[in-house]
Amino acid sequence: MSRPIPVEEMVKQFKGRHSCTHLLRMDNFSLVRKHNIGMIESSVFSIAGYKWNLVLYPTGDENPNSKGHVSLYLQIQDLKSLPSNWQLSVRFKLFVLNQFRQIWHENNGDVVFSQSNNMWGFRQTISLAALDDSTQGYLVGDCVMFGVKFLGVQDCVPGTAERFTLIEKPPNNKVTWKMTKFSTFLLQTDHKSNEFSIGGRKWRILLYPRGFGDGQDNSLSVYLRGDEHMDNVLKTKTFAKFKLRVLDQIARKHHEQIISSHWFTVEPGSWGFSKFMPLGDLHDPSKGYLVNDMCYVGAEIDVISMTTPL
């Protein structure tokens, strides 16, 4: 079976017909499982005068009763702006959109949110068996759509939607930073490469020539820094699998370390290795990492997430 209309038109119609809703469309859903992503957070959206996001566990949360299911939660945001001892009574539905028929697989909530109860939802939102059943229409063309609908809200806003996707080997995913006159770099401070763009976000390589943290005075420290988001994407956490390397300029036996997975925060932040390479190896002429006072440091992003508005 196939969708009666293209998914783009389906989302457009859904937003027009359903106010006070937010839809999380996930493309390349098989890659979420392939790369063992345990939790995904949507962007922050505003409904009923408050800020919210959806929290999705594609193969269930940590509770044993979640095994074999998708878990989906609604979470209130911006807690610091709320008064002390606040409480908020909310009626809502969490659902999975059927792409064959105009029906939802839904769970209803009637909840009082508070400082100690800021996230609420369902461990067994939908079974993985039902999701994977191609005849049921919830996972079609490797695309699945989760959402929330608020009930009983005055002055409901039009529906909103976003698209989360994982990208393997994104365009221009390899960057090399040529560092000349390496000996002139200030040793106890950090140094950043020029910005480069991959998967809807700007990045830099971050380096400490004599180490940082437990690598100080014994190692070269190297990190990947996630900076600002591009204008056409939503400001959400960014999932990445990446490699960092220092090039061997003689034998091409590059020194490389791999981050199997990391979520970069919405705000600029770095992740990598305080002990990337011993300083003795870096400065050993026979190893070829530092030649004629020149060093090459590289980054390669193998998998990255991107969230765009719909």
Alpha helices in the chain (DSSP H): 7-17, 29-34, 128-132, 279-282
CB hemisphere CA count around 229 (13 angstroms): 17
Which own/partner contact pairs does 117-121 have at CB distance under 8 Å and 24+ positions apart? 118/75, 118/76, 118/79, 119/55, 119/73, 119/74, 119/75, 119/76, 120/73, 120/74, 121/55, 121/71, 121/72, 121/73, 121/74, 121/94
When pLDDT is averaged across residues 223-242 and rounded to a whole number, the result is 95
Q: What percent of the chain has pLDDT over 90?
A: 75
Distance (Å, rounded) from C-alpha 184 to C-alpha 290? 13
How sure is the predictor about 3, in pLDDT bands with cuts at 50, 70 and 90? Answer: confident
DSSP 3-state helix, strand, coil percentages of the chain (rounded to 5)? 15, 50, 35
Has residue 120 got a pLDDT over 80?
yes
Q: Residue 223 belongs to what H/E stretch?
A: strand 219-229
Q: Where are the alpha helices (H) located in 122-191, listed in sequence order?
A: 128-132
What letter would DSSP give residue 207? E
From residue 106, give the alpha-carbon distance in Å to each of 99, 122, 149, 166.
Answer: 14, 10, 10, 25
Strand duo 160-168 + 21-27: pairing: parallel
Polymer length in residues for the chain: 310
What pLDDT digit, counting tens, does each position of 52-65 carry? 999 999 999 988 98
Cα–Cα distance between 118 and 50 in angstroms, integer? Answer: 12
- Provide the CB-side half-sphere exposure for 198 (13 A, CA): 30
pLDDT of 1 over the 70 cut = no
In whole angstroms, give the CA distance from residue 95 to residue 115. 25
Q: How far apart are CA 241 and CA 303, in angstroms?
A: 5
Q: Is pLDDT above 90 for 83?
A: no
Residue 25: which of 159, 158, 144 has the closest Cα? 144
d(C-alpha 219, C-alpha 51), whole Å: 43
pTM given for the model: 0.90
Question: What is the Cα–Cα distance from 26 to 10, expressed in whole angstroms?
Answer: 14
Contact yes or no for 281/255 (Cβ under 8 A): yes
Q: For residue 91, how many other CB atoms are within 10 A of its CB? A: 13
Q: Which amino acid is at 83?
A: P
Q: Model confidence over 178-231: pLDDT tens digits? A: 999 988 876 767 899 999 999 999 999 999 999 999 999 999 999 999 999 999
Q: What is the mean pLDDT of residues 10-26?
A: 92
From 50, 235, 35, 65, select the one nearest 148 (Cα to Cα). Answer: 50
What would the two tokens of residue 128 be?
């993985």
Rounded CA separation 238/301 (Å): 12
Residue-range domains of the chain with CATH: 7-164 (2.60.210.10), 169-309 (2.60.210.10)
User: Bigger pLDDT: 96 or 48?
Assistant: 96
244 — pLDDT class (breaks 50, 70, 90): very high
- Determine the average pLDDT of the residues in 91-110: 91
